[in-house]
């Protein structure tokens, strides 16, 4: 890369970073109004505050009523409100940083193009900034409200009935916007995988420079999995006593399972095209290198070893051959997946454990508390 190209790329990267930081979702603007020394402190205070307010209102409405909100585990809803607000906002910040990180992977000829730069900025504005994620939130909020009517806790007090369904709507809205953020990541990763990438088997990340993609998807897959555990735990503890007909049974299990399915999609689906490119890149580099090795071997065979100069030439060729073999081993050691072995092992260890354990443990807790006269 020439100095001019390098300078232009850095300039465009700075420009994209400044533009991305200036794009703010509506909930970011609200969080920045919360007192705090850093944006993470503001986010933590806002998330805890939402949890406290959500459960506090529900608790106040339950006073002097025949209903008990301690039997239906509705406190899990309030915890999910705060947790989802935290991860949604963190994910938004991470998506904007991800857009900038991808510029290191995209070939210079693409990144220097103003169209690429403007497309990235417009995509962030349309899908992440302002109210871009609201349609996703409303769609899932309405769905969750409907499912909440089918299975949710039943009260005798109108104010509590309204309160619990508002909470169902809110958690659906927050989770829906989070799904919209995941969609943005899938699209950004897919679009990047279609471009010419600056792959380098010498890159210290051992996956040819694609670790920024792997790190983000791994993080989001774990966050999605954590949310899935909370959702399935709440549903198992609070809703399973209302399952009757087969149709409701199907809806119930689908609503439990889809967050787990989403975490698998986040972890596995977006990297398939990247994996294909990395595999092809390694094959091409191997082919070119081994062609040189065959050429060196042939020269060694053709040498007249009775000649003293030929012996000197042979030593040089052997040294060159060893160097090529070392490079070949480096190429072979580079992973064709953007994940480290630790990340892959962690996800596929945690996923089955959480999938099975969350429902089983929840049902065990529910049975234990019910037998003790505490649970529902």
Domain parsing of the chain, residue ranges: 3-269+340-371, 283-332
Evaluate if residue 343 carries a pLDDT over 80: yes
| CA distance readout (Å), 255 to 163, 292, 359 | 21, 57, 13
Full 3-state SS string of 68-130: CCCCCCCHHHHHHHHHHHHHHHHHHHHHHHHHHHHHHCECHHHHCCHHHHHHHHHHHHHHCCE
Evaluate if residue 366 carries a pLDDT over 90: no
pLDDT bin (cut points 50, 70, 90) of residue 179 is very high
For 168-172, 226-230, 239-243, which range has the lowest pLDDT when averaged over its residues?
Answer: 239-243
**pLDDT top residue among 16 and 375:** 16
Evaluate if residue 367 carries a pLDDT over 70: no
CA-CA distance, 112 to 103, in Å (whole number)? 10
| CA distance readout (Å), 180 to 176, 235, 371 | 6, 23, 41
Q: Which residues contact 37 (CB under 8 A, 6 or more apart)?
A: none
282-291, 305-314, 363-372: which has the highest mean pLDDT?
A: 282-291
Q: Mean pLDDT for the chain?
A: 84
Evaluate if residue 254 carries a pLDDT over 60: yes
For 39-53, 114-128, 301-315, which range has the lowest pLDDT when averaged over its residues?
Answer: 301-315
pLDDT bin (cut points 50, 70, 90) of residue 5 is low
Q: What is the pTM of this model?
A: 0.85
Q: How far is CA 89 from the centre of its chain?
A: 13
pLDDT digits (tens, 9 = 90+) for 83-104: 999 999 999 999 998 888 888 8
**Is residue 301 within a helix (H) or strand (E), and if so which, with residue range?**
helix 271-302
Evaluate if residue 170 carries a pLDDT over 90: yes
């Amino acid at each position: 890369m020439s100095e001019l190209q390098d300078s232009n790329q850095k300039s465009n990267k700075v420009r994209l970073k400044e533009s991305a930081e200036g794009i703010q979702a509506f909930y970011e603007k609200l969080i920045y109004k919360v007192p705090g020394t850093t944006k993470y402190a503001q986010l933590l205070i806002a998330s805890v505050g939402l949890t406290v307010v959500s459960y506090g209102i529900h608790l106040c409405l339950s006073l002097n009523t025949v209903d008990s909100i301690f039997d239906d585990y509705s406190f899990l809803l309030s915890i999910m409100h705060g947790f989802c607000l935290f991860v949604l906002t963190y994910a938004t910040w991470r998506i904007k940083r991800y857009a900038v990180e991808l510029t290191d992977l995209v070939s210079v000829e693409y990144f220097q193009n103003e169209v690429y730069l403007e497309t990235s900025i417009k995509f962030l504005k349309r899908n992440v900034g302002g109210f871009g994620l609201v349609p996703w939130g409303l769609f899932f909020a309405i769905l969750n409200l409907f499912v909440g009517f089918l299975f949710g806790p039943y009260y005798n007090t109108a104010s509590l009935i309204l309160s619990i369904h508002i909470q169902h709507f809110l958690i659906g809205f927050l989770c829906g916007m989070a799904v919209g953020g995941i969609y943005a990541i899938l699209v950004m990763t897919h679009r990047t995988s279609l471009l010419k990438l600056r792959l380098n088997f010498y890159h210290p990340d051992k996956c040819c420079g694609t670790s920024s993609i792997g790190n983000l998807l791994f993080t989001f897959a774990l966050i999605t999995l954590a949310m899935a555990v909370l959702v399935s735990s709440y549903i198992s503890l609070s809703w399973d006593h209302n399952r009757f007909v087969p149709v409701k049974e199907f809806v119930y299990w689908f609503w439990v399972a889809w967050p787990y399915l989403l975490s698998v999609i986040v972890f596995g689906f977006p990297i398939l095209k990247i994996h294909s490119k990395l595999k092809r890149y390694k094959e091409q580099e191997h082919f070119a290198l081994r062609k040189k090795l065959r050429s060196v071997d042939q020269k060694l065979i053709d040498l007249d070893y009775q000649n003293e100069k030929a012996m000197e030439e042979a030593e040089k060729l052997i040294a060159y051959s060893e160097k090529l073999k070392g490079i070949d081993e480096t190429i072979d050691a580079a992973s064709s997946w953007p994940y480290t072995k630790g990340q892959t092992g962690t996800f596929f260890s945690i996923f089955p454990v959480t999938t099975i354990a969350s429902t089983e443990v929840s049902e065990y807790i529910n049975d234990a508390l019910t037998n003790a006269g505490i649970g529902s």
